[in-house]
Amino acid sequence: MPWLRCGTALSSALGCDGRYSGTPRCSRLCLWADDDNLILPAKLMQRKGLASRREAQRLMRDGFVLVDGQVHIAPEEKVPCTASIELRQDVHLPAKPVVVLHKPRGILSAHSPDGYTDPVAWQLLKGNRFWRPKDNVMKLSIEEKLIEQVVQEPSRMAICGRLDKDSRGLLFMTEDGVVAKRLVQAKKLVKEYIVRCSPQLNASQLRRLNGPMQLDRKDLLPMCVAEMEGNPHAIRFLLREGRNRQIRRVVERVGSHVVDLFRIAVGSIKIGELPEGHWRLLAAEEVESGLGS
């Protein structure tokens, strides 16, 4: 990636698809277990990305969950953290919508506090704002059903990840608890932003941003910050976390101010040609390839 000219460990750990190649700290299942190496099966299913905890409990009660090859119907009965857990092969969970929204400035990414009237992201999930990409891979019958599901009850869609009121760009919304958790907590997903600052950042300020930094007395994961080729007025930020107003605060720390913040990608899912204020559905294949497991 020729635009990465920052001497950080992050740049060498990034693949061409913008995915962090380091080993997640929670790669050992037993780190999730209690002291007796036992774990609630719903928690194990959530960790393995099979279902949300609430959904896992329902599936167990319905007899759809196998633990070490045997039907397990007691959600409160713990199992070994090394147990094999899976759904019966004849179980097909209904598709749940995963939405990408191009959030404009002035739109909140969370429900407004009482007494406030600022528009909220889910209010943009209307039928006339749906956008279908030219290379759409989703079956039309599935797409129509999911669109209807989103439009009928848009407030049910959970907003995943921060994007403050004054920022714009890619925002995920979903009813799928497993996908929501993956988006909010995964440190291997690289978030990509194009940022304009005033005054323009100089070489010394870029070096500081690429070095060790703290917010709220806690170390930040390494950032990769570089000028965009052919556009010295725009700065590209790559982050593996999303502290509250992180980019704005670190830019202020080095003596400048963010005037425009545009999130263009999370993992390998990019905002592309999605018009501002419009939304589209992600196919299951896009979720798996773009967000990882």
Q: Per residue of the chain (293 residues), what is the pLDDT tens digit?
A: 334 445 444 444 444 344 444 433 333 445 555 556 888 988 888 777 677 787 788 888 888 888 888 888 888 889 888 888 887 876 556 678 999 999 999 999 876 555 566 788 999 999 899 999 988 878 888 889 899 989 998 988 888 877 999 999 999 999 887 787 777 766 678 999 999 999 999 999 999 999 999 999 999 999 999 999 888 789 999 999 888 899 999 999 999 999 999 999 998 899 999 999 999 999 888 887 777 64
For residue 124, what pLDDT is reported?
A: 94
For residue 54, what pLDDT is reported?
A: 79
CA distance 102 to 261: 13
Nearest to 57 by CA among 68, 38, 73: 73
Rg from Cα positions in the chain: 21
CB 169 within 8 A of CB 163: yes
Q: Which amino acid is present at 101?
A: L
For residue 265, what pLDDT is reported?
A: 94
CB 76 within 8 A of CB 143: no
Which residues lie closer than 8 Å to 283 by C-beta, 6 or more apart?
136, 137, 138
For residue 7, what pLDDT is reported?
A: 42
Which residues lie closer than 8 Å to 258 by C-beta, 6 or more apart?
195, 196, 197, 247, 248, 251, 252
For residue 119, what pLDDT is reported?
A: 85
For residue 178, what pLDDT is reported?
A: 73
Q: Which amino acid is present at 28?
A: R
